Structure 1
């Protein structure tokens, strides 16, 4: 599977692939039922050909699976139809399709020598579906009509021929519609990931813009003043001392402004940060539920809670694929739970969690665990042993 896509696409792809395989395996059996062709009875008269037909069904399912795997690893199609919907396109093909055609040729030769002709029709129905599923649905219609004509030529009734042709065409159409729907889900999943990445990038750009506005002018003045000081010093002009002190004062003022900016970024208003984190996660199509409010958190822990919300929300978008996020705020703790990190057991701590522990220090206790597909991050204020 393409690792650039998310869990929703993976689940829907698996559903689509297995549905198509079931259709491919059941189609020849369904055609055989309408032709009153009993495979069990054929084993007594033509055991080798009957076994070959079963092998063809298995190889056909394998060929369809290989086709789906190859299609799923391709990039999202940029081709659109007149309704601005993604086109499925031509599905890839390989030697597995040719291998599936070999039993049909063998059975056809046996039918020419006097074997049961209905066995050839059952074999051809599978081959037609496998071939036409890789191209446009019009070819599927032509292939199903061809099988219907052959049924009539081999002595079948027009009613049976039309029923079998309709069954084959319905199978081909179902495959193409399933692939089209899967292409839409994949495109939406990629768009959702892009939206989440843009939300994170927008926050970074906001901070970079604020930092540039605060420091750009001061750094330009420092550069000009420093050149002036150097020139005055070369001429031993006493004004170099005065201008040097001005440079130092501008640098101290700029440093104070940077600290104020960073402090404001790290210690944002908790209510504002709660709304921002919820909005950020919702922009990634996650359902966000909030228990409690910013007022429930003591004032001395509001800065820590706001920082945890910002960091945890960003990390969820970077490293998880959540559909549901629950945020709980209380007097003693703040907890975030999401379903975007499947798995069980202990969570290996990377640099992100280690950095959060270091930033929190002794004033708060951080714990994480994963259970039943839910990832929980819990920060406790005033942990046991804290004198406060």
Structure 2
């Protein structure tokens, strides 16, 4: 069984090792730590040592927060901007303390602050803080007595900020793409469920209507014509088996309608309902691209005639670009705009199928009767 992103343990995958990668870069904090250790006989030396250790611990703590970040969330460590601001502010205060205690060796902390700003703050504020730290540190190397000019700290700090910004943007874009992909998959699954429900409705609606009509006819014939009644019961068994086979094929996903098959079913259904059927003798004129759509049209139209029309005659007309089912019954109830009835699931499903191949469903109330027509322009 596959897991979704919500099911993933945040400690799994590459993020498990995020703190290790961060720890590797702690190598550059050995300079201020060594400088502090060289002054361990002074208060300033121990202040530098303690401040450096705290600085490193907070920095690593940030990456541990990244590790525990909920899967699929943007590349930010904190649930609120305030916590990110606090983390950056504390690191800046510790960096200043280290520089005051041991001098220029403490400027190694500038790169870490820039990186921390980019992953703790919104992008704009991250860049502002990173640029301010880079420029301030470089200016200090020019202005503070005893310090040597160091363009490398300016370049290194800005490049580190740019690198981590690029990584964060890439991760965020990937998360957005994954979210879109999951949403598309969810919509595709929902569409497939709707399609299956629509097809199942069409299959059972037609088949059960025919079975019901033939069962009523058989019941009427038991006393007056037992032989024909037995024939109708035999048809009932065949129809029920066919319906079961259709449902199974629909579930298995390879059910295929045929236009001649639907005409044959229409003839049986209309005869069972004692409706005179005027059906075409050939389907050769209908192109392959429209045969399935016209088969659905006949199934839906004839089912509605048998169920609702009270008609005495039903005519099916096929051309190369249209299929029409017309009857002389009571007509449609609740017609909508431009002759489109409010309709049920069957007509809704037919409209969707027609739209998929650029065809149009047209319904017309006749005098008397009703016409359902699908036309490919």
TM-score if structure 2 supplies the norm length?
A: 0.46
Which structure has the higher relative contact order (CA within 8 Å, separation 6+)? 1
TM-score if structure 1 supplies the norm length?
A: 0.45
CA radius of gyration, larger in: 2
